[in-house]
Amino acid sequence: MARRENPEINAGSMADIAFLLLIFFLVTTTMNVDSGVSKKLAEKPPVDYVPPKIKMKNIFEISINRNNELFVDGEVMELKDLKEAAVKFVDNGGGIGNPINGEEKGKECDYCGGDKDPESSDHPNKAIISVESDRLTEYGVYVTVQDELLSAFAELRNKLCQKKYNMSFPELEGKFIDSGRKDEALKAKVKFIKQSYPQIITDLDPQN
């Protein structure tokens, strides 16, 4: 009796199938990519722009060294105290502000609740917060500092918005967005709050 041979399975196409599956997964798989810190950059000034002279008392100098230690105007400060110090500086109202909306000259801050210290910032629209870090500063510490500063501005805006319009600033912005950004009265209110406490935060190049 003749011996029956088992039929061979043609595996030639298996490599093609595996290759197609590999391409499929490469195309459809998503990967998490670090996007960095979202921040709106300032507009490029005109060619003939002459920067104004800035008084040192209107600059809130923050420095973070390679050991993640925080210095404010040359003095050591705990991170937990940064927000309060920033609020006090921005809201000081110790002088005359920059002209806005076509004004011929600036005015005193009639909504500031600060100490009006003549040695501190003149007006919220003159108050500049300068942040300098070291190249070895931990990324998390830098982000936390930025969060504290933004939280300080949020507190000041909310306080003024509550006083003027009986609502928080996020509520006001939410109503404006819900209107499709077409409600001119809400737009004017949002603009007023932002102009009252503009977020003027500058980042200096990290030090080696």
How far apart are the C-alpha atoms of 65 and 134, rounded to whole Å? Answer: 5
Q: Is residue 131 part of a domain?
A: yes
Residue 107: CB partners within 8 Å, gap ≥ 6? 96, 97
**Number of separate domains in the chain:** 1
Question: Could you list the residue range(s) of the whole structural domain that residue 85 is in?
Answer: 56-203
pLDDT by 10s per residue, the chain, length 208: 555 666 665 655 677 777 788 888 788 877 666 555 566 555 566 666 666 778 999 999 999 999 999 999 999 999 999 999 999 999 999 999 998 887 888 899 999 999 999 999 999 999 999 999 999 999 999 999 999 999 999 999 999 999 999 999 999 999 999 999 999 999 999 999 999 999 999 988 777 6
Q: Is residue 124 part of a domain?
A: yes
Helical (H) or strand (E) element with 14:
helix 14-28
Q: Is residue 178 part of a domain?
A: yes
Q: Is residue 39 part of a domain?
A: no
Q: Is residue 140 part of a domain?
A: yes
Q: Is residue 127 part of a domain?
A: yes
Q: Is residue 66 part of a domain?
A: yes
Q: Is residue 51 part of a domain?
A: no
pTM here is 0.77
pLDDT score of 145 = 95
Largest CA distance in the chain: 115
